A and B are shown apart, each in its own frame.
Chain A
Amino acid sequence: MNREDFDILKTNIIYFDNGATSFKPNIVKEKIMEYYSLYTANAHRGDYKNSMIVDQKYEETRRKVKEFINAREDSEIVFTSGTTEGLNMIVFGYFKNVLKKGDEVLLTESEHASNILPWFVLAKELGIVIRYIPLNENNEVTIEAVKNSITPKTKVISLAHITNVVGDLRPIKEIAEIAHDNGILVVLDAAQSIAHKKIDVRDLDVDFMAFSGHKMYGPTGIGVLYAKFSLLDKLKPLYYGGGMNAIFTKDGYIELREIPTRLEAGTTNIEGIIGLGACIDYLNMIGMDNISKYEHELREYLIDKLKKLDFIEIYNENNKGAIVAFNIKGVFAQDTAVYLDKYNICIRAGNHCAKILNNVFNVNNTCRISLSFYNTKEEVDLLINVLKNSRNIYNEIL
């Protein structure tokens, strides 16, 4: 649906790699162009009209984000460069200052590198212990497994909302309830869920959350860190410089600004912030519930068609995200991706930045289709036809 909003779709590309990044609707590009052609200025700086327009748009976007995820305060929203930066700020700006040797962090083996590597580094620095919540036979996190993994030393549970390989949706609300009963904080990596379902941070009751703009039809290089006010207020800046200080004197005295400003040092990605505001308006116009419903139906349709092909192995039939992992039996994932590219069909092959998840499907590398609302049943039909004709795949790709 809404295909007419995306100029790039006129190039007849079939884009099934939305988990990597999404296309941008024309309105996002137009709003970014307006910033450059009509009112370029820095934010929080000038006393002239254009600067005030920028300030207004900047803070307007913060409010839009706040409403989009149902945070309590505008000040709980920090602009970042993306999920990776957000997660690193959470780990090194907050947890580095509160965790002690022997404290435990719970992750899973299907997390993205960005929700594992910062914790690995912190574990080396502080001597905290990383433990993995075991996954069930569908590679999902169950409440039972979370309960069994918690020990008196557990201080944080850090999970993806939807994983980028398996596409499973985690029961975050229930996990947060158990976590909080045990005095444990919850970090949510929403990179793969933010564009696909309505997220309500108050309902989920997560303590920290990070996501990227570019996976939700916004520009690259912009993202959001959310945290409950009292926690965000204790998060120490990783960068110091312009815009974030209130006073400093030559003897080294520094007084910082309030949150979120003190966590946005230097000139931020203003065009990205304006683009993010435009894409939130756009998503609200379509409706997140409509998007979820449409993508769910499209996934069912795709699974149904793929299941009829006996030479295709599907690895995550029962998961709920917009992701389908599969292989042509006996064909290396990359060869399948190169073959589909001949027909202008973009999919991802590989281990998808979840390198410790090896063998979760009993294969190291899979083909991944990640759907968007602008994908259609007709595109799925074309994919199926191309797959049906893949008998001579090597003749075509060599």
Chain B
Amino acid sequence: MSTLARPLGLFDGARSPGQVAAPAHPLAPGRAGRLTASAGRRRAWWSAAVLLVGLLGVCLASMHLGQYPIPVADVVTGLARSLGLSDAPALASDGVLWNVRVPRIGAGVLVGAALGTAGAVTQSLFGNPLAEPSVIGITSGAGVGAAAATVLATAGSAVLLVPLGAFAAGVVTTLLVWGLAALVRGGGTLTLVLVGIAVNAVAGAASSLMIFLTDTASREAVVFWQLGSLNGATWPAVGYTAPLVLAGLIWSLTMSGRLDVLVLGERAAAHTGVNLRSLRAQAVLCAALLTAAAVSVAGIIGFIGLIVPHLLRLVVGPRQQYILPLSALGGALLITGSDLVARTAIEFVDLPIGALTAVIGGPVFFLLLRRRGSVT
């Protein structure tokens, strides 16, 4: 028995106050029909397995389906050859597969993982399940940054400037939202949503202004950021996004324990030993990094961070050590699945994926709002 961790020894052995019989062990393997912590762990592993299988299935379907269907057998041999695992003769479909579909799927996985986890982090930071990057305006803020960089940058510097612009604008927007929400203390959900409306309006105005002022080529780029699409995903884009997203995911995982404590509210979290200033700053930067990384590849795709963590919480409970990695998986699945639909639903038309996710996200947002009873 470590005495260091029990300065008062309130619950040491038989001297436990107010304790008559040894209580049931609440973290022990589950009693039938009740939700225990270990049941949560089992569910988390099951969810991870299901999401992973689903993601692999969607990836395979995505490689197979399209304007130019590639038989599954050819997909497998083509992949093996591209990875140097097979020396079967090259097929005509290889170019489409390796240079168009695989990077697009890779970008979808990265964007989805980033948005799902960014949603979980912002919800924890704001202590509100409705605080999602697109709802509170971080996504559109980052979108303005990316669009501005597209308009201002030359072809060569765009690769670096677009993600940088998205990140800078994302951080500024997150801080702005957070500062504005804090100004109206005690406003709760209503404040957050109102601040989101204001920030989205300003970002929309900035985008409109850019569309109005620039030439046709830039105009198209700006519209592209606003609609959200994986249409432009290339290997270089996947290349620079992957480390950013990976860093953001790992960063969020290092915060999982502290984000859990934040559920008690900022004051009680501080009483429990969390350095609030550091945690807030890290959570803001991490959410902005993930959102910006996603926006710089795919433009503004909303509601992923709202739908995915919410559904997962219903299944595995709100513990961040499960929610953060599972949101990455779930987001990846939702984006790759939506992209598959966006690409194949109407022949020869590449639908904007942002519009698709909003179609699912809007009703989920409303249901969440309704479930909370009052918006304050």
Q: State yes or no: do A and B come from one complex.
A: no
